[in-house]
Amino acid sequence: MTKRICILGSTGSIGSQTIEVAKMLGIEVVGIAAYKNVDILINQARDLNPEIICIGDERYYSILKQQFPDKIVVAGNKGLEEVATYYNADMIVNALVGISGLVPTIEAIKSGKRVALANKETLVVGGEVIKEMIYTKEKDYQQQVLIPVDSEHSAILQCLVGENKNDVKRIILTASGGPFRGKKLSELKNVKLEDVLSHPTWRMGKKITVDSATLINKGFEVIEAMFFFEKRVDEIDVVIHPQSIIHSMVEFVDGSIKAQISNPDMRLAIEYSLTYPERSRCLIEPLDFSRVKQLTFEEPDFDTFFLLKLAYECAKEGGSYPVVLNAANEEAVKFFLEGKMGFIDIMNYVREIVENHKPQKVTSVEDILEIDRMVRLEFKKLLEGEL
């Protein structure tokens, strides 16, 4: 079992829960990193006594160094890479938000680390590049290199234990449907920020909560699943399951279906990522079937939540399209959270950017970062033209 970990994004929801799970399992946290939540980071460092600490926003470096003069204190993107490749860690948990998680993941893989991946953007924008890296290094793409932390991909991984991957016919990702399940587009024109952030099931950071409300998060998970489990996009379905008890399913060629079922608690998926392929003691409340009154399933509403459909289309096109989808969405969500656009505007702006995109080849990290940069500039110009 993993003995020592570094956590990128330690102050966020997944990062803080990873610390909780690590303590319960007796795993030492030797490195932590955050972007700008320096006060929380300082408290975590005092509690955990890590060997290396990183703050992404370099403006806070002096504050951090003053608090911990005897520690390795680093900052900026290079600092994130130092934590991601730290020599004394067995595993890196990447819980960063957005494309900022891409390069640290790649550097961790290059340094021979196993990566527990909660940063879905890594595979959304860089799946092809990372796939090439791991296939070159190790025949089995995801085994022992990238371990999923998202509850859906963790569920699939658990369903595949002991199975022949060639026997997998279909992957079925479940989704709660978010706070606006059953609503039509016309009903979402005047929703408020607090409505968007009121997820019915999961406690998450603001960005991913907004993504769950538009259902683009599920589209990103479809793209992730393609690379985690070596499946085509037409072999991955999404089904709405409001109770969030079944976390995902795998259908096999003989028609049988395996599902991973538990109470909705991210600590289980985090625990499995840290102990895989072994299991540890139960850290969450076991599911009491006598209290489960019903399990229901619905088709996604692709008309209202058209970004899910757009994500499927970007996955089919491949190349630069997933990079564009992610960059446009990151910018839209940022402006929404700043109160500069409405909820429906997120979806409309993202669709417009993607539909106007001319495809480009993606063969390197540099290609990805340049396309990402250009899309963000284009998005800001588009928004300024509308204001």
- Which residues does the annotation place in the binding site for 1-deoxy-D-xylulose 5-phosphate? 120, 151-152, 176, 199, 212, 217-218, 221
Contact 212/364 with Cβ under 8 angstroms? no
Cross-strand bridge partners of residue 32: 7, 53
Ordered alpha helix ranges (H), 146-233: 151-160, 193-196, 206-214, 216-229
Q: How many CA atoms lie within 13 A of 366 on its CB side?
A: 0
Annotated binding-site members: 11-14, 36-37, 119-121, 150-152, 176, 199, 205, 212, 217-218, 221
Name the residue with tokens 């060997």: 51
- CA 318, CA 234: separation in Å to the nearest integer? 13
Annotated binding-site members for Mn(2+): 150, 152, 221
Written as six digits, the tokens of 304 are 């209202």
The phi, psi pair for 148, rounded to 5°, reads: -70, 145
Q: How many CA atoms lie within 13 A of 84 on its CB side?
A: 30
Contact 155/247 with Cβ under 8 angstroms? yes
Annotated binding-site members for NADPH: 11-14, 36-37, 119, 121, 205
SS3 148: strand
Q: How far apart are the first and last CA of the chain?
A: 54
Classify residue 307 by its DSSP letter.
H
Ramachandran category for residue 5: left, alpha or beta (phi over 0 → left; psi -120 to 50 → alpha): beta
Length of the chain: 387
H or E stretch at 332: helix 321-337
Closest-CA residue to 124 (of 289, 277, 314):
314
Cα dihedral 225, 228, 230, 231 in deg (nearest 10): -10
